[in-house]
Amino acid sequence: MMPDGLFGSDWDPQTVLNTTNAVYIVASILFILGLKRLAHPSTARTGNRMAAIAMLMAVVITLIDRQIVQVPWIITGIIIGAAIGTVLARQVQMTAMPQLVAVFNGFGGAASALVASAELVREQDAVDDVAAVTIMASTIIGAVTLTGSFIAFGKLQGFVASQPVLLPGRNYLNAVLLAVAIGLAIFLVFEPNTFAAFAVMGVIALALGILLVIPIGGADMPVVVALLNSYSGIAAAATGFVLENNMLIIAGSLVGASGLILTRIMTKAMNRSLANVMLGGFGAADGAAAGGAAGAVEQRPVRSVSAEDVALVLSYARSVIVVPGYGLAVAQAQHAVRELADELKSRNVSVKYAIHPVAGRMPGHMNVLLAEANVPYDELKDLDEINSEFDRTDVAIVIGANDVTNPAARTDPASPIFGMPILNVDNANAVVVLKRSMASGFAGVENELFFLEKTMMFFGDARGSVEDLVREVKAL
Amino acid sequence: MVETLLISLTVFVLAVFVGYEVITKVPPTLHTPLMSGTNAVSGIVIVGALIIAGQDFGIAGAILGVVAVALATVNVVGGFLVTDRMLQMFRRGPEDGK
């Protein structure tokens, strides 16, 4: 028998249950339709709202239907969570979006693991095999998502060294830990009441989350964040299996699919396999080797120019393509860049932006930054759209990007980035590179682009440099 | 129990296909809002947290449940708000606006 919920005793329990499930179906449909509206920037905002409404409906009907007896506790939890969420969402800078998403992923994973653990506590001996399997899966995935996300957050924020941390024999260690965790999970399916084993399994899963992410370098974080995004969805779906709730399964698998698709887009854009990214160490070993070589290479001449030179070149161009990279985000140069673009446009120069899929620290990071600076989204072009346009472009201006513009990816089979799809910046008539120094990018390789005859190097902090350019163009 | 597992698996597999079809149509320019938005959707686990927290099965269960509710709420509220904040910044160029 279903005890009285907030509906009171006048309601037929079966009616309540049917109503709840009907609302869950409506919510599931709204989630799908909401995500569908993300297919275009003009409909995306309403899509997000549809998903939010679906969530609200699901929460309200659950509160009404279920045998909620701990109402004050639950309301406290919701108020605390909503307050933290609101403050984080309002305060975060657009440049810090990858960190925020990482933290939210972690919370989602933690919630899934906690729900599964609580279900085990509740069911105890009554738990059957199938339920036990889903509980263990949900706990492990949730725990890995939690600690993995927080390490990713630490690396993005600079709390944890963003260089790959390479423990000796780490792949064996991880394999052994995973095997032990799975072994314990199987044992727990038959002996669900062994809380010590459950606790050990949980701790191992938490450790795995840390160990899996520390060997991965900072610039590979877009892949990690996308993958953890997927995990948080899969963890939610697993919780749906635990509670036999189809809405959780549907919503969770939508997120799982989304994260996996983004992960694949990212790895393809780096011409690397997911395994290669996850095994980590990229840039660390190569970087050391290239560091030695760089000493010799640094002697090669580059053409260093002043703000005045660049301003002249830009204002006499007919078409300019801006190529932003993570350096732009670090320097918070997005507003200055838009000012420069406005100034050029007022002189009838066409300005577009070429955005590589892995520019920045998460998928679409550059687009959000430029949108924040009021750059219209139809000026933001992705790799396939823009690459054929470089040879018809007068000036390409590279701001804080490096590896994604390196022609060696097309021409030098010996380069570690060979085969990676790049922006064909070197096809433009002239190239201006804004950069702090000649330091190599994440891949630890020299960028041949910098040594081309048509390339002008404009050294300095991205924001300061662009602001100087705005002043010089205005003065012309 | 195996029957319910099979039903759950059916729903899971179909939902993954729907997800694949829907998400591949999202343009790269919206990938960051897509991530934060789907992140909020993964906060659906809040429903599980509410069900767990709402039942009376000892203090351990109640604490686990309430912490889960709070964490999932951060995910849901923060995720949808920050996605909305981002999406309102995306605007079309003046020439296309007409």
> A81-109, pLDDT tens digit by residue?
999 999 999 999 999 999 999 999 999 99
For B88, nearest residue in chain A (alpha carbons): A45
DSSP at B78 = I
Count the domains in chain B.
1
- Choose among B42, B49, B70, B16: nearest CA to A55: B42
Q: A275: how many CB neighbours lie within 10 A of its CB? A: 8
Residues A339 and A242 in one domain: no
B97 in a structural domain: no
Residues A142 and A38 in one domain: yes
Sheet with A380-382, side-by-side order of all strands:
A380-382, A350-355, A319-324, A395-399, A430-435, A455-459
B96 in a structural domain: no
B58 in a structural domain: yes
A8 in a structural domain: no
Amino acid code (one letter) for A269: A
Residues A386 and A429 in one domain: yes
The domain of A380 spans: 300-475
Query: CB–CB of B25/A242 below 8 Å?
Result: no
Scan for tokens 């660390």, then name that residue. Answer: A284
Disruptive mutation site among B9, B39, B55, B88 for chain A (greatest number of A CBs within 10 Å): B39
Minimal Cα–Cα distance from B58 to chain A, Å? 8
pLDDT one-digit tens code per residue, A203-246: 999 999 999 998 888 778 888 999 999 999 999 999 999 888 99
Do the interacting molecules here have an ipTM over 0.90? yes
**Cα separation, B79 vs A308, whole angstroms:** 44
Tell me the average pLDDT across A404-424: 90
Question: Does the distance separating the beta carbons of B74 and A84 come in below 8 Å?
Answer: yes
Please give the interface size between A and B, counted as residue pairs whose CB atoms are below 8 Å apart: 387
Residues A87 and A179 in one domain: yes
- Choose among B62, B70, B20: nearest CA to B43: B70
A158 sits in the region (left: phi over 0; alpha: psi -120 to 50; else beta) called: left
A255 shares contact with chain B (CB less than 8 Å): yes
Residues A351 and A322 in one domain: yes
A355 shares contact with chain B (CB less than 8 Å): yes
Scan for tokens 């993954």, then name that residue. Answer: B16
Tell me the average pLDDT across A14-24: 86
More confident residue, B69 or A67: B69
- Percent of chain A residues past pLDDT 70, beyond the cut: 92
Which tokens in the block code for residue A289?
Answer: 């080797």
Residues A203 and A316 in one domain: no
Residues A212 and A311 in one domain: no
A375 in a structural domain: yes
Question: Does the distance separating the beta carbons of A48 and B32 come in below 8 Å?
Answer: no
Residues A330 and A254 in one domain: no
- From the candidates A65, A286, A403, A426, which is the catalytic residue? A403
Query: CB–CB of A109/A142 below 8 Å?
Result: yes
Band of pLDDT at residue A336, cut at 50, 70 and 90: very high
Q: pLDDT value at position A287?
A: 40
Q: What is the largest CA-CA distance in chain A?
A: 86
Q: pLDDT value at position B86?
A: 95
Residues A230 and A340 in one domain: no
Contacts of A80 in chain B (CB under 8 A): 70, 73
Residues A56 and A141 in one domain: yes
Which candidate from B39, B46, B64 shows the least CB-CB separation from A121?
B64
pLDDT one-digit tens code per residue, A139-167: 999 999 999 999 999 998 888 877 777 77
Q: Give rounded-to-5 percent helix, strand, coil for chain B.
A: 80, 0, 20
A290 in a structural domain: no
**Cα separation, A202 vs A196, whole angstroms:** 10
Count the domains in chain A.
2
B25 shares contact with chain A (CB less than 8 Å): yes
Query: CB–CB of A309/A303 below 8 Å?
Result: no
Burial class (CB in 10 A: 0-12, 13-18, 19+), A157: middle
Contacts of A190 (CB under 8 A, 6+ apart): A129
Tell me the average pLDDT across A62-76: 77
DSSP at A434 = E
**Cα separation, A158 vs A177, whole angstroms:** 27
The domain of B42 spans: 2-91
For B42, nearest residue in chain A (alpha carbons): A233
A390 in a structural domain: yes
Minimal Cα–Cα distance from A102 to chain B, Å? 9
Q: Does A220 participate in catalysis according to the annotation?
A: no
Band of pLDDT at residue B98, cut at 50, 70 and 90: very low
Residue A286 pLDDT > 50: no
Residues A177 and A311 in one domain: no
B98 in a structural domain: no
**What is chain A's length?**
476
A135 in a structural domain: yes
Q: DSSP E strands: which ranges in A240-366?
A: 319-324, 350-355
Which tokens in the block code for residue A271?
Answer: 């011409």
A115 shares contact with chain B (CB less than 8 Å): yes
A209 in a structural domain: yes
Angle at A254 between CA B39 and CA A247, to 5 degrees: 95
Q: pLDDT value at position B94?
A: 63
Residues A315 and A258 in one domain: no
